[in-house]
Each structure stands twice: as C-alpha cells, then as structure tokens.
Amino acid sequence: MKAEKNGELKIFSGRANSILATQIVTALAKNLNRNVALGEMAAKNFSDGEIWVKYEENIRGCDVFLIQPTNPPADNLMELLIMIDAARRASARRITAVIPYFGYARQDRKDQPRVAISGKLMANLITQAGADRVLTIELHAPQIQGFFDIPLDHLYTGTVLIDKIKKMKIPDLTVAAPDIGSVLLGRSYARRLRAKLAIINKDRTAHNKCKVDCIIGEVENRNILLPDDMIDTAGTLRTDVEELLTRGAKKIFIAVTHGVLSGDAWQNLTHPQIEKILICNTLEFAVPEQLQKKVEIVSVGKLLADGIQRIHEERSISDLFPERRNAIS
C-alpha cells in the first residue's frame, strides 16, 4: 500500500489545543475503523520558561503528525519547533506540522517601510526546524502558501460552517463581506447559501480599528451573515454590525474560523441584534456565561482527521472541497 512507504501513522499534540487533538484522533479512529490514540510525548517548562520535549515512544521510520497552533504567546510556536526538531533527531520518516491556526499571518507583505514579513519568517522557521510538510486551515492570506518551500495543504472551513448555517434556515439572507479582501469568501458563502451578497468598504485607521465608507448591496430589512477568517478584538466587527443596523438590517449572524478573541472581544460581541456566532475550535477559548446561548463552537476535528488520513495515504486533499476544484481565486 502507498501508506506503508511513509511508515506507521503516529499523531502527537503540543499543549496549545489538546481538546482539538483528542477530537482529531477520535474522528480518525472512526475513519480507519481501528483504535487511534495520541502518541506519548512529554513536554514541560523549566523554571525560567524554557521548553523541553521528549517522545516517550519509538518514532523511527514513522509518518509523524504534530498538532500545534502557533497563536501567541510565542511559546506555542517555540514548542512546535522543538517538537519538529526532536522528531527529526529521532529519525521520523516524515514530519507533518498540523497547524490549525497559523499565527503571525497578518504580516504577509511589506505594506509600510521598515516592517517585517513575519508570515515568511514563520515559514522559514518551521522548514528549517525539519518539517517535511504543513497542514493548516484558512490562512489569513492565500499567498502565504507560497512562503513555504515544502508542500503545504490548505483546508477550508466553509463546508463545516455552511452546513450549520443551512440548518438555521435563515430567511431574507444577505452575506456581507466584511472588507474588500473578503469578497471571494463572501461570494462563496452567498453562492452556496443562495443568498444575496453585500460588500462593506472601509478604511483601517489603525490596527483593529476601522471606518466604514459605504456598504454595497442590499441590506435593508435583510438578515445578515458576516463570514470572516478570524475574530481578534472584534472591534471592526462591532463597527460593521452597527453600520449594518443603521442601514436597516435585521438580525446579524457571524461565522468565523479562528477565535483569537483578545482584548475587548467578548464585550464587543455582546450586542442584542447579534443572533448567533459560529466559531471553529482551531484555538482553545472559553465562552463567557452571558454569551453561551449565542456562541456555538464548531469542531474542525473531522476536517483535520480527513486531511491527515489523505496525506498519510497519499490521496488528494482537493477532493474534500469539490466546490473549489475549478474555482478561480
């Protein structure tokens, strides 16, 4: 079999999102119809914070998948790099970094003088540590795939989230792309939900702050779905919601992949006209009690399990997303 040439499948998790890692191996066990468990790995911090990692089982000649998002603090990224290095030195046949959330991706170009392109730096660090390939979900910008000189498989959460939205049977639905850069995402949601499309055109005045110039499309007396790749402070999202409501929108629904949720995010999401918030569990977060009825955490465990299985068996990843196969981005 093709899978055998890559060695025995073994999956390990860092400490950044152990809940998701457990969901991945549970889904993978169902896919393979056999027991699959997380590999034994010890990870700890010395008293000064320095990270130490050791694989507690033999991985020589194995097909190793390492699950770890790289969101701040920087320890999460450092832990992944050390996991990769330890696996390389333990003679793993192939090492795949499974990164549900790829941190530092917002700095993907030199848009001002004297700034870093941190997305490229992260790609270099992961490659130099010894990863053979990367599996990730919803990069902030598609061009980040080109920052890597090793194979990268990119998964999309549209199908997972859209299935949830369809079950809500929202009447008079308009999908509002939250900015010009999200038009393709908004168009994809609108097409698959058979909804109208609107575009929110705005200027970013500072990090996590913006001013809406205009809204293109029909939003009056419509229920609005705002899809995006992430929620950070939710400051710009709150601005979008208020602008939509002043233009006559009814209820607001939100669907995002990455719940960064820093600063005043939960406070900004506390709005009576926000009906439902769907957030994937690429990152670990706790929902405050006052929002538990509105926020639904959507698991990407099955999606990542399918990706891992296909990589291990040398099968196509794009077959998971038939709607995107012939799409032009």
Inter-residue contact 164 to 184 (CB < 8 Å): no
Number of domains in the chain: 2
Query: Does 312 fall in a domain?
Result: yes
Instruction: Please give the share of the chain, as a percent, with pLDDT higher than 90.
Output: 86
Query: Does 92 fall in a domain?
Result: yes
Whether residues 12 and 105 fall in one domain: yes
Q: What is the dihedral of CA 318, 319, 323, 328, to 10 degrees?
A: 30
* Residue 1, pLDDT score: 43
Q: Summarize the confidence of residues 63-79 as an average pLDDT.
A: 97
Whether residues 279 and 305 fall in one domain: no
* Residue 109, pLDDT score: 86
Whether residues 137 and 173 fall in one domain: no
Query: Which is it for strands 223-231 and 252-259: parallel, antiparallel or unpaired?
Result: parallel
3-state secondary structure of 279: strand
Percent of residues in the chain assigned helix, strand, coil, to nearest 5: 35, 25, 40
Query: Which is it for strands 274-280 and 252-259: parallel, antiparallel or unpaired?
Result: parallel
Whether residues 166 and 150 fall in one domain: no
CA–CA separation, 63 vs 81, rounded Å?
Answer: 17
Query: Does 14 fall in a domain?
Result: yes
CA–CA separation, 124 vs 141, rounded Å?
Answer: 17
Report pLDDT digits (tens) over 206-221. 665 667 778 999 999 9
Q: Summarize the confidence of residues 145-163 as an average pLDDT.
A: 95
CA–CA separation, 98 vs 54, rounded Å?
Answer: 18
- HEC string for 50-108: CEEEEECCCCCCCEEEEECCCCCCCHHHHHHHHHHHHHHHCCCCEEEEEECCCCCCCCC
Instruction: Please give the share of the chain, as a percent, with pLDDT higher than 70.
Output: 95
Residue 262 confidence (pLDDT) above 60? yes
Whether residues 27 and 47 fall in one domain: yes
Q: Summarize the confidence of residues 63-81 as an average pLDDT.
A: 97
Q: Summarize the confidence of residues 135-144 as an average pLDDT.
A: 92
Whether residues 142 and 9 fall in one domain: yes
Whether residues 6 and 145 fall in one domain: yes
> Which residue pairs from 292-297 have beta carbons closer than 8 angstroms and sit at least 24 positions apart in sequence?
294/269, 295/269, 296/164
Whether residues 138 and 8 fall in one domain: yes
Q: CB under 8 Å to 48, separation ≥6 — which residues?
A: none
Q: What is the mean pLDDT of the chain?
A: 93
Report pLDDT digits (tens) over 74-111. 999 999 999 999 999 999 999 999 999 999 998 888 88
Which of 263, 259, 265, 260 shows the shortest CA–CA distance to 278? Answer: 259
The CATH number for 90's domain is 3.40.50.2020
Whether residues 140 and 226 fall in one domain: no
Which of 155, 144, 162, 84 shows the shortest CA–CA distance to 305? Answer: 155
Inter-residue contact 239 to 201 (CB < 8 Å): no
Inter-residue contact 191 to 175 (CB < 8 Å): no
Query: Does 329 fall in a domain?
Result: no
Q: Which amino acid is located at 109 in the chain?
A: R
In the numeric block, which tokens belong to residue 160? 């997972």
CA–CA separation, 67 vs 6, rounded Å?
Answer: 18
Query: Does 207 fall in a domain?
Result: yes
Whether residues 151 and 162 fall in one domain: no
Report pLDDT digits (tens) over 228-242. 999 999 999 999 999
Would you give the distance in Å from CA 250 to the centre of its chain? 29
Whether residues 142 and 15 fall in one domain: yes
* Residue 62, pLDDT score: 98
Domain that holds residue 112: 2-156+301-324
Whether residues 149 and 259 fall in one domain: no
Residue 54 is a catalytic residue = no
Which candidate in 44, 54, 110, 202 is catalytic?
Answer: 202
* Residue 329, pLDDT score: 45
Query: Which residues is 136 bridged to in the sheet?
Result: 99, 154
Residue 5 binned pLDDT confidence (cut-offs 50, 70, 90):
confident
Q: CB under 8 Å to 206, separation ≥6 — which residues?
A: none
Query: Does 104 fall in a domain?
Result: yes
